[in-house]
Structure 1
Amino acid sequence: MIGIWNCKVITNQLKLKIVFNVEENDGIKLAMSVEPYWMPIEIVEVKAEGDRLTAVGQTKYSPEPILIELQFAKDTFTGKLKLPFVGEKEVQGERGKGSSFTEELIAIVAPYRKDRIAQRTDEEIHGEIESLLGRMSIQDKLGQMSQCIASNFSFGAYVASAPPEQLVAEGKVGSILGAFDSSRVFVLQKTAVEQSPHKIPLLFNADIIHGHQTIFPVPLGWSCSWDLEAIKQACAIASKEATASGITYNHGPMVDVTRDARWGRVVEGAGEDPYLGSLIAKAQVEGFQGDSLFSEETLIACLKHFIAYGAAESGRDYNTVDISEGTLRNVYLPPFQAGLEAGAGSVMNAFNIYQGVPVAGSSYLLKDILRDELGFDGMLISDYGSIDEIQIHGAAKDAEGAAKMAIDATMDIEMVTRLYYDRLPRLVEEGVVKEAQLDAAVRRILTYKFKIGIMDDPYRYIRPEKEIEYHFHSDHLKKSRELAQKSIVLLKNNGVLPLTRKKKIAVIGPFAASKDLLGPWQFSKYGNDTVTLLQGLMESGIDPENLLYAEGCGVNSSIEGGMDRAVALAQNADVVILALGENSAMSGEAASRADITLPDVQQQLAEAIVNLGKPTIMVLTNGRPLVLDWFDRHVDAIVETWFLGSQAGNAIADVLLGDYNPSGKLTMCFPHKVGQSPLYYNHFNTGRPRNEANKSRKFVSKYLDTPNEPLYPFGYGLSYTTFTYSDIQLDKVQLSRTDKLNISVIVTNTGDYAGEEIVQLYIQDLYGSTVRPVKELKGFEKIELKPGESSEVQFTITEEDLKFYTANRRYEAEAGDFKVYVGPSSQVVKEASFELI
C-alpha cells in the first residue's frame, strides 16, 4: 500500500479526485488531498493491517469526521469514504496521481472562447451600463448585488439557500464564492450567460491569500522578509494561477494592523506596524491587479477588513472593538489608504463595531470616510453574513433595518446571505430605500465586469490549458522557495548554527515529517507535494545514515511509546532538531487562542530532549507569535519558520545548513507571557513610564512578574554574521517645512559570513497636541555585505513623514523636537535629534 493512489468521486454538484499518499516513516502515515481543492484535511488516526488501511480525518470546516476504509491490491484499491457535505461513497482507484478533470475541460470550453476582444473605454462602459440599468427590474438589480456559494462547502455558518444553478438561472446572484474547480466555473457561467434574464456573466470570488496552487509563506511570514518586490511577485504568481481557473475577484489582501498574538488572523496580515503594513498593502494590490485588470492574468484585489478588525478585544475573533478616532486614523487606516492609492478595486467590511455601530452598517465609516473622504468608487462587499449580523449586534430592530443600514452605508454586494434580495424590494416600494441607491451599487459592479472583459467574453478566464501550464510550475516553486528563505527569522543562536552535513542529526517532533506546512487560507490540490523538513534535509546532500527521525508526539496528542523512541534516538545524535509548533487549524479565522504557548505534549517532549544535554535547535512552525520564554532559556537556537508553503522543507534546510544566511526581521513582537498582549513597539509613553532609573520602584507602569518589553521585539532577527552601526550623521539639526533632512549611518559586516541586513529608521515626536508613540518606523533598506565590507545607508525625512492626525482633527506635522533612531531592530538603535521649525 506504500505509495500514491487516486480515485474519483462524482455527485450532482461535485467532481472530486482524491489522492492518497501512504508512507512508512516511524509507522504508517497517510496524507490526503482533493482536486479541486475542497478543504484542509488532517489525518488524526491511521491503522494498517496487511493490505487494509483505515483512517479518521477531520477538517475545521465541519464537525463530521472523515472516515476512510481502503483495501489495496497490487495496483488498485477499493473501499469506502465518508466525507462532510458528500456523505458515504463506495470508491475504487488505482496507483498514481491519475488524470485530471482539467484535461477533459479543454475541448469542452474551446468553442465558447473568443480569440480577442477590445478593451472598452470608460465612456463606452458608462453608456452600456446605463442602457442595461434601464432594462433591469428591482429584483434584477438586487441579483447583481447578491452572492451564493458554489457548493455545500461553507466558509462560515450554514446559510439556507436554493441550489446555485437555480439562483444563477433566475438571475438572483451576480457572483459566486468558492468555485475552485474550473469545470464548476464553466457550468455556472454558462448558466448565467444562457439562462439568466439579462445574460449578465458572473464574478467568481475566492480567498487567494498566499498562493493558489503554488503556496507561498503566510502573509505574516512573508512580511518578515521586508522584501516588497518578492511579495508583489508572489501575489502576481497567485493571480496568474487563480485566474487560469476562472477566479476573477480576490477576497484579499488582508491589510489589518495586528497587535494581539491571540487573534488567529494575525497570520493573514503584515504585523503591528502601519508604515510597513502600508508598503506591503501596496505591493500586494500591485501584484494581484498588475498593470491592468483587463489582463486575463490579474485579479480584482479586495482590501479587508475595513476597519480596525485587528483591534478585537482579548484577541477574540468577531469581538468588539473600541478605539479612538486618532488610533483609527493613525494606526489602522494607513494600509487601506495605501491600497486604495494603488488602485484596489474592492473593499470588504470588518465584522466589528466602531463607536457602537457594526461596520457593515456604518455610514460614517463606509460612506463618509471610505467613499467621500478617501474617494473610493469601487465595489464594497460585506464579509460573510455581516449584514445579517447587524441585527444580532443589536444595532437594528429586524432584518429590514439591517438591510437598510447596509445599503445606506453604500454596501454593494452581500456575501452569501439573502437580506438584500428578500428585504429591500418592500423598502424600495415604501420609499424607505431609493432605487437610485441600488443603481449606484449595480453601476459599480457592472463597471468591473466590463473592466475585466467578461461582459464581452464571459469565458475568457476559464483556461484549462493554462491551468495545466501554470499550476505548481517550477518557476513558481523557485520563487516560493526564495521568499520562504527570506521569511525565516533566526531568534536565537549560540553558535550551533549553521549545521555541518557531517554531524549525526536527529529530527524530532510533530513537524519533522509533516506536510502541514502550508498554513490556513490556502486551497492547493498539491498538498501532498509539500516538501517536509525531513525531505528538505535529505535532499540537501546529507548522508541518509546521518539523519535520524522520530515523531515523538502529535501536535496536540501523545503517541504510545513515541516519547521514549524519540529520546532513545536523540541519544545517538550529535545534534537535535526539535520541529514543534501549531497545526494550520490553530491559526486563521475563528482560531483565537487565550494560551499562546505550545501544547503541553510538545513542551513535555522538548523537556525530555533538552534534559539529554545535546545541542538542540528548535524549528518552529506557526501562524502567530508564541510564548517562547522557556525555549529561549533552554535550547541553543530557535528558528522561526511560520508556515512557509510548498517549498517549506527546502527553505528551512537551506537556512539550517548555511546555504542561505537568514535575514528575516519580525513584524510582530513575541511576548514573554501572554498577559502582555496586546504588545507592540510603537506604544505611548504613559505618565509613569518604566525606565532603568525607576525600574525598582513600585508606582510605575510595569508588571510584577514579567518585563514590559517583549522577548523578541519588532524588527528583530539574527544572522550568521554580525553587523555594527556607526553613529548617526544628520546634515542639519533644524528642518524647515519645505526642506528635507538627510540621515546617514555606516553599517559594517564584522562577522565571517556574507549576509543581508535590514537597516531600520525610526522617529519620535517628543511632544504634540496628542501624545505620540515612543518610536515610529519611517524607512528601511536591505543591504548585502561581505565579511569586513561597509556600506553607507542614507535616509531622507520631510515634513510629510512627520504628519499625523492631530487634536485639530486634521493631518499635519507640528513644530517641535524629534529624535531619529537607526538600528537593526526597534529596540537596539543609535540616536540623534532634530527640530521641525
Structure 2
Amino acid sequence: MSLMLSDQKALLPFGTSPARYQALCQQVEALLEQMTLAEKVGQMNQVAGSRDTTGAPANTDIEEDVRTGRVGSVFNAFGVEFTRELQRHAVEHSRLGIPLLFGYDIIHGFRTIFPIPLGQAASWHLAGIEQAARVMAVEGAASGVHWTFAPMVDIARDPRWGRVMEGAGEDTHLTSLIARAQVRGIQGRDPGATDTLAACVKHYAAYGAVEAGREYNTVDMSEWRLRSIYLPPFQAALDEGCASVMTAFNTLNAIPATCHPLLLDQILRREWHFEGMVVTDYTAIMELEQHGVAADASEASRKAVNAGVDMDMQSSDFINTLEALVHDGQIEEARIDEAVRRILWLKAALGLFEDPYRYADDEREAQCLLTDEHRRAARQQASESMVLLKNEGGVLPLSDRHRKVAIVGPLGNTPRLLGSWRGNGDHDDTITLREGIARRLGEEATLLYAQGASNQIGEDDTSGIEDALDLVRQADAVVLALGEDEDYADEAASRADIGLPGAQLELARRVLETAGDTPVATVLFNGRPLALTELDDMAPAILEAWWPGTEAGNAVADVLFGDVNPAGKLPMSFPASVGQIPIYYNAFNTGRPKGVDPKYASQYLDIPNAPLYPFGFGLSYTTFEYGALKTSCSEIALDDTLKVSLTLTNTGGVEGTEVIQLYLQDVHASVVRPLRELKDFQRLQLSPGECREVVFHVTPEMRGFLNAELEGVQEPGLFRVQIGSCSENGEEVEFRVRQEHP
C-alpha cells in the first residue's frame, strides 16, 4: 500500500498540491525500496536528545544508534551546533544517509515567549495568534528545529487540569479557528522554506476531558459528544494542512488513544483520509502495559502499529519488537512500509534530502532570536490577551498623577511569568512587573515593593504582610500581584483547589482593608481559571494577565496605565466554586431547568448555577452600546442564509476594541441542543462616539449538527440568535427554518 492518492479527497499534510505530494511520494518510494526491515523500523523510533555543558551531544548511545540507522527522529533537539553534529552522524555514517527529523515542544514561543496559549485565546485575535506562531517557527527553525508538537487543541471544561494553559479553552468553534491560525503560522505558506516548521496537532483525542481534572486519567464519553465537541478542532487543523498528529495519553471509552482503532484508523484515515504521520506522546506505547491492555512490549507495539501509529516517542518498544513481530506474522511489513513512507515524506517535504543541514545556519540563529521586532510582537499580544474582570469605581486605568506606587505580592518582582512549556525561553530576558511599571513611570516616580506573602507560592507564611502594609500606607496607588507559580499549571500539575495558593488571599484582604481610599488594582498571573469568589467580593479592580511571557511587565504596565485599552474576553468560564466543575457556557437544558420550579430544579442549594465570570466576558475602559438586532427576514429555507445586523457605538471617552459575539440556539430538534453555541464573532476597534454597522450571516453550516445516528444534518424549526459582549448577555431574535422553498 502506498501513499498515492485515492479518488477520495485526502487531507494532505502542509496543504500541498496533489502534484507536489505525488512527486515527493515518488522520491520516498525510491528510497524505501533500498531499505532493510531494520532500517525501516529505525525510522519509526524517536529518542530524546541531550547535551553536555558545552552544548555538544552528550548521549553517545544515541550517536551509535543514529550511525546504525536505528533512529529516525530526535526530540528535545535544538541549537545549530547540536543538531548539525547529530545530523552528521545520520547523513555521513549511516548506510543510506537518511537525515534525522528534529522535534521540540515550541508551544508559545521559542526564545521570545508569548502569552500562554490560553491567554492568546483570550485575545480572540486570530491574526495576532497566527503572528505569534509565525515568530516561534522562525526562531525555532533558526535554531535547527524541524518539527514542533503544537498546536494543542484539546477542549477543556475543567480548570483543575493543569494543561488547560496549553489550549484555547472550552469552546469548539473558537478552538477550531485558533487551531487553523496556529497551523498557518507554524507551517507558513512554503514548508520548503527554512523559516517554517512542521506542525503536530495534539492530543488525539479527548485528553481535555480527563475525569476529575486529573492528569493522565480516564475519559469516558458518548461518540456523539466526541464527534460534536472534541474532534472538530483536530479536523480543522488537518484541513489547514497540519503535517502530523500526536496521540493522547488517556483512555477513551476503555481503550487507550494510542491503540484506538476508531480514532486512528476509522476516523483519521478512513473518514478524514489524512495522509500524514502519527506520533505517540512520550512513552505512551510503553504505558499500554500500565493501562492493562498489553502484557508486554511486543503486544503494546503490535496494538499501536496495527491501530495506526507511525512513530514511537521514546519508549523504544518499536525498535525492540517490530522486526520480530513482522517475522512472526503479527504485523504485516506493508503496514511498516506505510508508516515509514509517511515519515520519509515529511523529511522530503522539509527539503532535508536535498540539504540535511539547511536548518543549521549559524548566522540565521544569531540574528533571529529575541529580536526587537519579536519583542514588540510579544508585548502587543500580551496586552491584547489580558482580560479586565472587574473595575468598580473606575480604579483603572491608573493615572500618571500616581507618583508613589506600591507593588505588593509574591509575583510583583519575579521573572517567572513565562509559564510552562516555555521553549528555550530564559527568565533573565523577562521584564518583571516591577521593571515594567518603573519604565512606565520614569525616574521621577517612587516605586515601592514588598513581597507580602512568600514567593514560594503555596506557603502559608504571613510574616511579610506587615511590611507590605507599611508601604500601602505610604502609596498613592497599589498594584497587588497575585496568582500561581509557573509549575502550578503544566503537565502533571492538576489542582483540586484552584483558589489563590498559600497566604495570598489573606494578603489581599489586609492590603484592601488598609488601603482605604487609595486605589488598588489586582493583577493575576496564572495558567488556568481560578476560583476567585472571595477576592471578587473585596477587590474593586481585577486584571487577568495570565502568564504574559517575555514582555510581561511592559505589557501589564501598558494596560494598567491606559496606554492599551483591555479588550480580552475569557475563553474559559471562571467558576464561582470548584463544586460547579465542569462548568461551560454551551450546556444542555434539562427537563427541569432552574426557574421553573422553586425546589425541583437542576440547581444547587448553596450557590448559583452561573459561573463567577462567564465565557466571552471581559470589560473595557470605554463602553459600547449594542443597537437593536435586525434580520433580513423571519423565515428562511434550509439552504438559505439569514442576515443579522446591528449598530455598535463606542459611548465612552477613549478608543476601544470590542469582540462582538454571535450565539445560536436550535430550540427544537431531534436531539437536545445546547442553550447557546458560539458561531461567529467580530473584533472591531472604535473611536469615541464612533458607530459601526455590524453584519453577520447565519449560514446552513452554522445550523448543522450531528443527529442520534451521528449524521451531519440541518433540521427545520425555531432558532434564536443572540448577539452581545459575552455568552450571558445580548439581545435575542427568533427566526424559523422551513423544510422547503414555497
Question: Shift of residue 326 of structure 1?
Answer: 1.0
Matched, 1:662 2:566: yes
Taking the TM superposition and a 5 Å limit, the aligned residue runs for 1:481-496 are 481-494=379-392, 495-496=394-395
Render the CA deviation track for 1:409-451: whole Å, top value 9, x for unaligned.
1111000111111111111111111000000000001011111
Alignment equivalent of 1:506, drawn from 406, 411, 422: 406
User: Could you say what secondary structure the match of 1:148 adopts?
Assistant: strand
2:681 match:
780
Matched, 1:237 2:141: no
Matched, 1:721 2:622: yes
1:690 match:
594
Render the CA deviation track for 1:498-518: whole Å, top value 9, x for unaligned.
101222221001111110110
User: Could you say what secondary structure the match of 1:654 adopts?
Assistant: helix
Matched, 1:148 2:47: yes
User: Could you say what secondary structure the match of 1:396 adopts?
Assistant: coil
2:326 match:
428
Q: Is the 8 A contact 2:103 2:148 kept in 1?
A: yes
Matched letter for residue 293 of structure 2 = A
User: Could you say what secondary structure the match of 1:571 adopts?
Assistant: helix
Matched letter for residue 701 of structure 1 = S
Question: Shift of residue 558 of structure 1?
Answer: 5.8
Question: Shift of residue 229 of structure 1?
Answer: 0.6
Q: Is the 8 A contact 1:151 1:164 kept in 2?
A: no
Taking the TM superposition and a 5 Å limit, the aligned residue runs for 1:407-426 are 407-426=305-324
1:602 match:
504
2:287 match:
389
1:569 match:
471
Render the CA deviation track for 1:760-818: whole Å, top value 9, x for unaligned.
00000112221111000010001111222211110001111111111132111111111
Matched letter for residue 645 of structure 1 = G
- Structure 2: any 5+ residue segments left out of the alignment? 1-18, 53-58
1:762 match:
663
Q: Is the 8 A contact 2:249 2:281 kept in 1?
A: yes
Q: Residue 472 and residue 569 in structure 1: after superposition, are their counterparts in 2 closer, same or farther (change >3 A)?
A: same
- Kindly tell me the number of residue pairs found equivalent between the two proteins: 709
CA distance in 2 between counterparts of 1:413 and 1:199 reads: 19
CA distance in 1 between counterparts of 2:51 and 2:703 reads: 51
Q: Residue 257 and residue 544 in structure 1: after superposition, are their counterparts in 2 closer, same or farther (change >3 A)?
A: farther
Alignment equivalent of 1:178, drawn from 53, 76, 79: 76
Question: Shift of residue 123 of structure 1?
Answer: 4.3
Larger RCO: 1 or 2 (CA < 8 Å, sep 6+): 2
Taking the TM superposition and a 5 Å limit, the aligned residue runs for 1:93-492 are 121-151=20-50, 163-492=61-390
Q: Is the 8 A contact 2:505 2:535 kept in 1?
A: no
User: Could you say what secondary structure the match of 1:209 adopts?
Assistant: coil
User: Could you say what secondary structure the match of 1:235 adopts?
Assistant: helix
Q: Residue 560 and residue 611 in structure 1: after superposition, are their counterparts in 2 closer, same or farther (change >3 A)?
A: closer
2:13 match:
none
Matched letter for residue 560 of structure 2 = L
Q: Is the 8 A contact 1:728 1:832 kept in 2?
A: yes
- Structure 1: any 5+ residue segments left out of the alignment? 1-119, 154-160
Render the CA deviation track for 1:460-499: whole Å, top value 9, x for unaligned.
0011211111100000111111111100000000111110
Alignment equivalent of 2:447, drawn from 528, 547, 562: 547
Question: Shift of residue 560 of structure 1?
Answer: 8.0
Matched, 1:797 2:703: no
Q: Is the 8 A contact 2:107 2:423 kept in 1?
A: no
Q: Is the 8 A contact 2:462 2:503 kept in 1?
A: no
1:516 match:
416
CA distance in 1 between counterparts of 2:290 and 2:29 reads: 37
Matched letter for residue 40 of structure 2 = K
Alignment equivalent of 2:584, drawn from 675, 680, 686: 680
Matched letter for residue 35 of structure 2 = M
User: Could you say what secondary structure the match of 1:386 adopts?
Assistant: coil
Matched, 1:585 2:484: no
Question: Shift of residue 525 of structure 1?
Answer: 4.6
Q: Is the 8 A contact 2:462 2:507 kept in 1?
A: no
CA distance in 2 between counterparts of 1:134 and 1:597 reads: 59
User: Could you say what secondary structure the match of 2:474 adopts?
Assistant: coil
CA distance in 1 between counterparts of 2:562 and 2:531 reads: 27
Matched, 1:711 2:711: no
Question: Shift of residue 544 of structure 1?
Answer: 4.9
User: Could you say what secondary structure the match of 1:780 adopts?
Assistant: strand
User: If the length of structure 2 is used for normalisation, what is the TM-score?
Assistant: 0.94
Question: Shift of residue 630 of structure 1?
Answer: 1.0
Matched letter for residue 241 of structure 1 = E
Q: Is the 8 A contact 1:538 1:544 kept in 2?
A: no
Q: Is the 8 A contact 2:156 2:164 kept in 1?
A: yes
User: Could you say what secondary structure the match of 2:441 adopts?
Assistant: coil
User: Could you say what secondary structure the match of 1:234 adopts?
Assistant: helix
Q: Is the 8 A contact 2:412 2:432 kept in 1?
A: yes
User: Could you say what secondary structure the match of 2:158 adopts?
Assistant: coil
Matched letter for residue 192 of structure 2 = F
CA distance in 1 between counterparts of 2:323 and 2:273 reads: 29
CA distance in 1 between counterparts of 2:694 and 2:639 reads: 23
1:70 match:
none
CA distance in 1 between counterparts of 2:231 and 2:444 reads: 52
Matched letter for residue 547 of structure 1 = L
Q: Residue 457 and residue 606 in structure 1: after superposition, are their counterparts in 2 closer, same or farther (change >3 A)?
A: same
After TM superposition, the structure 1 stretch with the greater mean CA deviation from structure 2, 127-136 or 189-198, is 127-136
CA distance in 1 between counterparts of 2:474 and 2:667 reads: 57
Matched letter for residue 799 of structure 1 = P
CA distance in 2 between counterparts of 1:163 and 1:522 reads: 28
Matched letter for residue 680 of structure 2 = G
CA distance in 2 between counterparts of 1:465 and 1:445 reads: 29
Q: Residue 287 and residue 429 in structure 1: after superposition, are their counterparts in 2 closer, same or farther (change >3 A)?
A: same
2:545 match:
641
Q: Is the 8 A contact 1:770 1:807 kept in 2?
A: yes
Matched letter for residue 397 of structure 2 = P
Q: Is the 8 A contact 2:461 2:503 kept in 1?
A: no
Matched letter for residue 150 of structure 1 = G
CA distance in 1 between counterparts of 2:401 and 2:338 reads: 68
User: Could you say what secondary structure the match of 2:123 adopts?
Assistant: coil
Q: Residue 123 and residue 764 in structure 1: after superposition, are their counterparts in 2 closer, same or farther (change >3 A)?
A: closer
Q: Is the 8 A contact 1:615 1:635 kept in 2?
A: no
CA distance in 1 between counterparts of 2:227 and 2:287 reads: 25
CA distance in 2 between counterparts of 1:524 and 1:301 reads: 18
Structure (1/2) with the larger strand percentage: 1
Q: Residue 629 and residue 202 in structure 1: after superposition, are their counterparts in 2 closer, same or farther (change >3 A)?
A: same
CA distance in 1 between counterparts of 2:714 and 2:425 reads: 51
Q: Is the 8 A contact 2:49 2:74 kept in 1?
A: yes
1:823 match:
724
Structure (1/2) with the larger helix percentage: 2
Q: Is the 8 A contact 1:502 1:546 kept in 2?
A: no
CA distance in 2 between counterparts of 1:356 and 1:596 reads: 29
After TM superposition, the structure 1 stretch with the greater mean CA deviation from structure 2, 814-823 or 734-743, is 734-743
Alignment equivalent of 1:834, drawn from 713, 735, 738: 735
Render the CA deviation track for 1:79-99: whole Å, top value 9, x for unaligned.
xxxxxxxxxxxxxxxxxxxxx
User: If the length of structure 1 is used for normalisation, what is the TM-score?
Assistant: 0.83
Alignment equivalent of 1:532, drawn from 415, 428, 432: 432
